[in-house]
Chain A
Amino acid sequence: MTTLSKTDMQHLIAKRVAAELEGPCVVNLGIGIPTLVAEYMDAGDIYMHTENGLLGVTDVEEADIDPNLVNAGKLPVGEAIGSSFFNSSDSFAMIRGGHVDVAILGALQVDQTGVIANWAVPGKNIMGVGGAMDLLVGAKKVFVTMSHTSKDGSSKLLKECTYPITSTRSVDMIFTELAVFEVVNKQLKLVELMPGVTIEEVRAKTEADFIH
């Protein structure tokens, strides 16, 4: 069995997703693990889009932080050579209109058809959706990054989502600290085990049906 600290787990997942990206492409990064993906992108011709109005996001040195230059998580970022700023409507026209190649999102749950829930928890206030629903309908490919299980150990890959879904669209790939899944014809397909993980461990921690 694998035991990783939360940070190590997040970085492991982020690094693996980054390896999946091939330029040239435009990638939108969500909040949480997706933000870390930027640290591991080494392929050329990958441009990052942020919903709050910047195409061409890069890292920023501490000394160069500008409080009016942030990403969707309101964290300071830099502007790449060739970057552009635009208003929120133009930004979501890019997203909804199918001009963003890949969206990398976090999720609370994924069902066995690849439908995700990531914006609301029943019994708690439904308070924040942000750009998640727009990204799911518009991005050409959607990658999900999340821990395989909840804090209580229960599977986050379920037969059916118990939380409100974000879209009826199935995502394309799911990356956890245990495995990588592709969604093929509304079915989860395990395509890779993370280092040191066995298929038995994945089966034990996955409620959703998947093919292998």
Chain B
Amino acid sequence: MSKVISDVQDALACVESGHTILVGGFGLVGAPLSLIEGLTEKDVTDLTIVSNNLGESGKGLGILLNQNKIKKGIGSYFTSNRDVGDKYQKGEIELELLPQGTLAESLRAGGAGLGGYYTTTGVGTDLAKGKEEREIDGVNYIFEKAIRADVALIRAHKADTLGNLVYYKTARNFNPLMATAAKKVIVEVDEIVEPGALNPEEIVTPFLYVDTIIQAQQVLTKEGVVNR
């Protein structure tokens, strides 16, 4: 059974207002730009977006932000988009800031069926406020909850039609983690191949995590984001 869908809106049919959506990428690198664009054309609102950044000003998730479709952002580095600060000042968006390693591990834990975990990161800082503290073998930890979501929008390099994925250089980042932590996982890729074409030793995301595959319409180049 092929998971490949040709129309972006068909792929995004499962996305509803109020959903929590994981969006891969470190800035624009590894961000599912075609799916994000599809989301900007879809009539949904009150989204909670979990992503390291909320795009850049007017780019990627930055467009969705400017459309006031994002109710809450969960991430580690919102500074990369100055519009986030403006919206936050006006009370138009809620933000939850997490250390980058905590964001990543919370996604991993969510995908692995865990409720959360204890970490040393953030102990004694403002980001530990309100979090349970616990001493284990003489070391102080704080409890961090796992993150799970309704939908994950991710970017990979190649997919076979079953949904096995391989990634490309630093465009991997949060994508394989997000592939594990949502009810519906939609991936956009540079290239779709037949099962058997990918080396089993090199598959990073096995197919059981992936629901829907689309061919990427937008690609990050040296000159910026271009339509292919």
Interface residues in chain A, defined as those with a beta carbon under 8 Å from any beta carbon in chain B = 50-54, 65-70, 74, 79, 85-89, 91-93, 95-96, 120, 125-134, 137-138, 164-168
Judging by beta carbons under 8 Å apart, are B170 and A70 in contact? yes
A sample of 13 cross-chain residue pairs with beta-carbon separation below 8 angstroms, ordered by A number, consists of A66-B169, A79-B169, A85-B170, A86-B172, A89-B108, A92-B104, A92-B105, A125-B78, A127-B77, A127-B85, A129-B99, A134-B101, A137-B120
CA distance A29 to B170 in the complex (A): 16
Central interface residue in B101, B124, B169, by most chain A CB within 10 Å: B101
A51 touching B171 in the complex, CB below 8 Å, given contacts A68-B30, A70-B29, A133-B122 = no
CA distance A53 to B84 in the complex (A): 25
Judging by beta carbons under 8 Å apart, are B169 and A69 in contact? yes
Judging by beta carbons under 8 Å apart, are B100 and A130 in contact? yes
A168 touching B124 in the complex, CB below 8 Å, given contacts A125-B85, A129-B100 = yes
- A133 to nearest B CB, angstroms? 4
CA distance A137 to B121 in the complex (A): 6
A52 touching B29 in the complex, CB below 8 Å, given contacts A86-B172, A127-B95 = yes
Judging by beta carbons under 8 Å apart, are A88 and B169 in contact? no
Which 3 A-B pairs rank lowest in CB-CB distance, beginning with the nearest? Answer: A92-B101, A128-B79, A134-B101
Interface residues in chain B, defined as those with a beta carbon under 8 Å from any beta carbon in chain A = 26-27, 29-30, 52, 76-80, 84-85, 88-89, 95, 97-105, 107-108, 119-127, 167-177, 204, 220-222
Which residue of chain B has the shortest Cβ distance to A62 in the bound complex? Answer: B222
- B227 to nearest A CB, angstroms? 15
CA distance A162 to B122 in the complex (A): 18
For B77, the chain A residues whose CB sits under 8 A away are 127-130
From the candidates A96, A120, A128, name the one contacting B121 in the complex (CB within 8 A).
Answer: A96
Judging by beta carbons under 8 Å apart, are B99 and A133 in contact? yes
A68 touching B125 in the complex, CB below 8 Å, given contacts A91-B104, A92-B105 = no
CA distance A133 to B125 in the complex (A): 9
Judging by beta carbons under 8 Å apart, are B125 and A53 in contact? no
Judging by beta carbons under 8 Å apart, are A126 and B126 in contact? yes
Judging by beta carbons under 8 Å apart, are B104 and A69 in contact? no
From the candidates B30, B76, B102, B126, name the one contacting A164 in the complex (CB within 8 A).
Answer: B126
From the candidates A68, A128, A164, name the one contacting B170 in the complex (CB within 8 A).
Answer: A68
For A95, the chain B residues whose CB sits under 8 A away are 101
- B49 to nearest A CB, angstroms? 15
Which residue of chain A has the shortest Cβ distance to B88 in the bound complex? Answer: A125
For A67, the chain B residues whose CB sits under 8 A away are 29, 220-222
CA distance A69 to B26 in the complex (A): 11
For A132, the chain B residues whose CB sits under 8 A away are 99
From the candidates A68, A74, A88, name the one contacting B104 in the complex (CB within 8 A).
Answer: A88
Judging by beta carbons under 8 Å apart, are B177 and A53 in contact? no
For B80, the chain A residues whose CB sits under 8 A away are 74, 128
Central interface residue in A52, A95, A131, A132, by most chain B CB within 10 Å: A52
For A127, the chain B residues whose CB sits under 8 A away are 77-79, 84-85, 88, 95, 97
